[in-house]
Amino acid sequence: MSSAAKKLVIVRNDDEPETTPEQTVEATETVVSETEETVEAADISAEPEARADELRLLEALLFAAGEPLDEATLSRQLPDGVEIKDALARLKAEYSTRGVNLVKIGRKWTFRTADDLSWLLTKNVTETRKLSRAAIETLAIVAYHQPVTRAEIEEIRGVATASGTLDVLLKTGWIRPRGRRKAPGRPITYGTNEEFLSHFGLEEVADLPGLDELKGAGLLEGNMPTGFGVPMPSDDATLRDDEDPLEPGDLDLGLAPAPTAELDLEPPQAVEAAAPEEAVAEDAAPEQPDGEGEK
């Protein structure tokens, strides 16, 4: 190890003035002030460019209008010398990339939501319709007296039932065709469906209120006819002894066009083909005078 000791010599420059804490704070404040001035200058430069007065007027008129406006109506509100077609073209280009577009409908102009954003304004509305009194009475008769035919419904109600009443109940899915009654004319019998139970919150059709419950709810008058009663409803899908199963065409109920049967065209053609031959044979037979053919 060398005997000569190395010394660290610190040289201080007395010419540079020492910086005090107060001077440091003042320098920081100066930098912050300069930064704020820069931000304010940037805000001023970011102001939107002034738009033409005719575009602002057209924009206000079209937004405030409750219906599309034609060019003549818009032109009367603009200053003299403004070309309306050119102004509308510029306004349309300006709104082409926005959520609202300027569109021309026929000869009129209006603002409309952009096509790609129309799903945002889509609203599904469920329209609630009340059943007529005739439909309610028919539904109640079908529920309590099923299986029941249209003639039996009319007999219970005491009035004729319009065909549209049953059609409405069939479209709602609350009643369904069950079968055909084993009677002259083989009328269709009707019963309730699962949609009926779901809509009225029933576990089974037997949960419908009975006579005492209807009287307690005030739905039946006190002076009921003698022997009046409410049957015990049942929606058993098994056909009764007086019912026949439905045929494939019975489910259409006249609401759909009947399919054309191509095979049914052959017998009429054969008959038509045979008819001329029979006519020729009859024409070929000589006419006999009266009395000559009887011997």
Percentage of residues in the chain with pLDDT exceeding 90?
28
Q: Which of 48-57, 102-111, 217-226 has the lowest mean pLDDT?
A: 217-226
Q: Both 109 and 152 in a single domain?
A: no
Number of domains in the chain: 2
Q: What is the CATH number of the domain that holds 158?
A: 1.10.10.10
Pair of tokens at residue 210: 């009975």
Determine contact, residues 234/145, Cβ cutoff 8 Å: no
Of residues 32 and 280, the one with the higher pLDDT is 32
Determine contact, residues 88/102, Cβ cutoff 8 Å: yes
Q: Quick check: 268 pLDDT over 80?
A: no
* Residue 264 belongs to some domain of the structure: no
Nearest Cα neighbor of 106 from 82, 78, 64, 71 is 71
Q: Which residues contact 78 (CB under 8 A, 6 or more apart)?
A: 54, 57, 58, 84, 87
Q: What is the pLDDT of residue 93?
A: 93
Q: What is the pLDDT of residue 257?
A: 43
* Residue 178 belongs to some domain of the structure: yes
The residue segments making up the domain with residue 90 are 53-115
* Residue 276 belongs to some domain of the structure: no
How far is residue 121 CA from its own chain's centroid?
14
Mean pLDDT on 237-265: 65
Q: Quick check: 15 pLDDT over 80?
A: no
Q: Both 220 and 144 in a single domain?
A: yes
Q: Which of 50-54, 198-202, 277-281 has the lowest mean pLDDT?
A: 277-281
